[in-house]
Chains A and B, each alone.
Chain A
Amino acid sequence: MSLLDRIRICHRRDMAKYRPFLVDGAAIGWINRDLVARLRGFPRIFHVAENGVALIPAGYEARTAAMADVVATLRDEGLVTGWRDEEFPVASTFYAPPLFAIERAAVKAFGIRYYCVQLNGLVGDGEHQRMWIGCRAMSKPIGPGKLDQIVGGGVPLGYSLTEALVKECAEEAGMAAALAGRAHPVGAITILAEEDGGLWHETLFNYDLTLPDDFVPKNVDGEVESFELLSVAEVRRRLESSDDFLFDVVPLLADCLMRHGHLSADDPDYVALAELLAAEPNLTGHGL
């Protein structure tokens, strides 16, 4: 499969199955038909109408408490799985004050956009550049055993991007804060994909860090089974010829290959690939 086709997977969805999840009139998520039907059972919390599902409680605390009750019920019913005990902020944009907080395991069911920090761990430069690639632990609720970047994770409530990155670098790769602090931002990629019955609406803030030759990542939190140092050619080969990588990591790695000059501008897919990497998902359309 071409890189382009693999990245198209990150934009595969049928929004016709979803209704907007509204807070103060703004759509902050997308809920599928089945869950909409279930949410009718919470008439004091949701106003369910044709044009959307509106959250009734007002104010950060009341919304957070009401959603926590709903999500706990859905968990008991098996509709929300993979409990994390970690809260994500919910807001109209990344830069707006949060409207409420929600358990991380529930964001995909409500189609809420969430934000992650992702790191390319690079060694060397030019043609012989290599990348540290992690293999996700078999115990991970998402993508067990899949290949991943050296470090990546959601930005929890109350963390800045830099704080979240430094925390993940320590937990996932045993990286000292001084080393992690040398990472620099290189862009962001937003995807909207229907996968495993949920909506992945994520913005991945991407960072590069060129690591010393003698650095070896060591996982601390048990979320990464092993690390491997691969040549960029091998990364590209596996991206194209296997589905070894977690699907939403593919655009981040393709972007990394492109920014570092490992893709040819004369490749017929080059422009389409670059534009797809920057595409803002159209929330009302059908995706690709």
Chain B
Amino acid sequence: MSLLDHIRLCQSRDMARFRPFMAGEAQVGWVRHELALRLAGYDDVFAVDDLAIRLQPSLADFDSRSRAMAEIGARLVEAGVFRKLRGEDFPVMADFGQPPLFKVDRIAVPAFGVKASGVHMNGFVRKPDGLHLWIGRRAKDKSVAPGKLDHLVAGGQPYGLGIRENLIKECAEEAAIPKQLAARARATGIVSYVMEWEAGLRDDVLYVFDLELPPDFTPRNTDGEIEEFMLWPAARVLLEIETTDNFKFNVNLVLIDFLIRHGIIGPERPDYLDLLAGLRHGDPGPSKAR
């Protein structure tokens, strides 16, 4: 797959299949029409019309909304719409950087098309022959992208944790990176995309961090989510992205961003400006109140 193909994959959606999900005056997500019609049956929680699916106005604060959505989650598991709850709460907000309006179980995030974010960290080593990146291989039993190549550290952004705080936690859990070393990670920007997904819509922001590691550092997975780690030259990483789909779909984008920032992908490539524009394209469309 070309670099642009990886980006297009993450930016592909047909918004005509969705209607806005509203909480009060704020749009907080997108729901497929079929699911919206089904949810109309839960009229203690939702008011559904042709234009939108809304939380009932009686659900006016964080706690009542979160409780109602937890109840809906349990009912959707019973109904077989969700396989099982993930047991991890994600914040729901009108826009990134704004305070959460309520929280939902992670399993409900794509079904309700709510914004979600994660932290992705490039672990790199400067060697005499250039930059090298630590690459992980995801365990075969992961629910998303089993066996695919991944970053040194990556994880979803749960409710109640700061972004840097979450990164430090994930560093310890996924790669046994001590806190002191993890604290040297630098926030370098974001990658964002809106992607239609089997279960709905992913409206994602990935907070990108770079951590330069000493040559003698070797990561070790502690939570069973990564099978092995490999240290690859940047050129090998680029070749793997351009010629295979071995990396997890969204990891390709974060790596392309890294390779651009470090000058390994340069403006002599005719797709350079399209790559840059495609890496941050989080706006799903004009019907959204942005």
Q: Is the Cβ of A259 less than 8 Å from the Cβ of B188?
A: yes
Question: Within 8 Å of chain A (Cβ to Cβ): is B87?
Answer: no
Is B192 part of the binding interface, using a Cβ–Cβ cutoff of 8 Å?
A: yes
Nearest residue, chain A, Cβ from B188: A259
CB–CB A94/B261 < 8 A: no
CB distance from B288 to the nearest CB of A (A): 13
Are B268 and A161 interface neighbours, CB within 8 A? yes
Contact partners of A266 in chain B: CB under 8 A: 162-164
Interface residue ranges of A250-287 to B (CB < 8 Å): 258-261, 263-272, 274-275, 277-280
A260–B261 Cα distance when bound, in Å, is 10
B residues in contact with A110, CB < 8 Å: none
Q: Is the CB of A186 within 8 A of B97?
A: no
A265 in contact with B96 (CB, 8 Å) = no
Interface centre among A160, A184, A190, A265 (most CB of B within 10 A): A265
Contact partner of B187 (CB less than 8 A), chosen from A190, A264, A268, is: A264
Q: Report the minimum CB–CB distance from B209 to chain A (whole Å).
A: 8
Distance A261 CA – B97 CA, assembled complex (angstroms): 18
Q: Is the CB of A260 within 8 A of B189?
A: no
Pick the contact of B189 from A93, A95, A268, A274 — CB < 8 Å?
Answer: A274
Q: Is the CB of A184 within 8 A of B263?
A: yes
The yes or no answer to B213 lying at the interface (CB within 8 A) is no
**A193 to B66 Cα, complex, angstroms:** 43
Check if B262 is an interface residue, CB within 8 A of chain A.
Answer: yes
B282 contacts chain A at the CB level, 8 A cutoff: yes
| Contact assessment for B192 and A271 in the assembled complex, using a CB-CB cutoff below 8 Å | yes
Q: Is B79 an interface residue (CB 8 A)?
A: no
B189 shortest CB reach to chain A, Å? 5
Chain B residues within 8 Å of chain A by Cβ, number: 34
The residue that B188 contacts in the complex, of A94, A205, A258, with Cβ under 8 A, is: A258
Q: How far is the CA of A187 from the CA of B207 in the complex (A)?
A: 18
Contact present for B261 and A259 (CB under 8 Å): yes
Whole-angstrom distance between the Cβ of A154 and the nearest chain B Cβ? 15
The digit string for B121-144, where 1 denotes a CB below 8 A from any CB of A, is 000000000000000000000000
A274 to B280, CA, bound (A): 8
Residue B10 CB within 8 A of the other chain: no
* Candidates B98, B189, B276; contact of A259 at CB < 8 Å: B189
Q: Who on chain A is nearest to B277 by CB?
A: A280
Contact, CB under 8 Å: B190 / A185: no
Closest residue of chain B to A285 (Cβ to Cβ) is B286
B117: nearest residue on chain A (CB-CB)?
Answer: A271
Q: Is the CB of B190 within 8 A of A271?
A: yes
Interface residues on A, range: 20 to 34
With beta carbons under 8 angstroms apart, the residue of B98, B192, B260, B263 that contacts A275 is B192
B187 & A265 in contact (Cβ 8 Å cutoff): yes
- In the complex, how many angstroms separate the beta carbon of B2 from the nearest chain A beta carbon? 15
Other-chain residue from A93, A95, A208, A270 in contact with B190 (beta carbon distance below 8 A) = A270
Evaluate contact between B267 and A185: CB separation under 8 angstroms: yes
B266 touches A185 (CB 8 A): yes
**Are A263 and B279 in contact, with the CB atoms below 8 A?**
no
With A266-B162, A270-B97 as given contacts, are A188 and B267 in contact (CB-CB < 8 Å)? yes
Within the complex, the shortest CB–CB distance from A269 to chain B, in Å, comes to 6
**CA distance in complex: A270, B280 (Å):** 13
- Judge if B186 is at the interface, Cβ distance under 8 Å: yes
Question: Which of B190, B279, B282 has most chain A Cβ within 10 Å?
Answer: B190
A263 touches B187 (CB 8 A): yes
Instruction: Say yes or no: B97 contacts A268, CB within 8 Å.
Output: yes
The answer to whether the Cβ of B249 comes within 8 Å of any Cβ in the partner chain is: no
Using CB atoms, name the residue of chain B closest to A275: B280
Residue-wise interface mask of A (175-197) relative to B, using a CB-CB cutoff of 8 A (1 in contact, 0 not):
00000000011111010000000
Interface code A182-224, partner B: CB below 8 Å = 1, 0 otherwise?
A: 0011111010000000000001010010000000000000000
- Nearest 3 A-B pairs (CB), nearest first? A261-B186, A184-B263, A268-B97
Tell me the A residues contacting B by CB distance below 8 Å. Answer: 93-95, 160-161, 184-188, 190, 203, 205, 208, 258-261, 263-272, 274-275, 277-280
- Spell out B's residues near A (CB within 8 Å): 95-98, 162-164, 186-190, 192, 205, 207, 209-210, 260-263, 266-268, 270, 272-273, 276-277, 279-283
Known: A185-B266, A271-B95, A279-B280. 18 other contacts (CB 8 A): A94-B273, A184-B262, A185-B263, A188-B272, A188-B276, A258-B188, A261-B187, A261-B210, A263-B187, A266-B162, A266-B163, A267-B97, A268-B98, A270-B96, A271-B97, A271-B205, A275-B192, A279-B277
Q: List 13 A-B contacts (CB under 8 A).
A: A185-B267, A186-B261, A186-B263, A188-B267, A188-B276, A258-B188, A259-B261, A260-B186, A270-B187, A275-B280, A275-B283, A278-B276, A278-B277
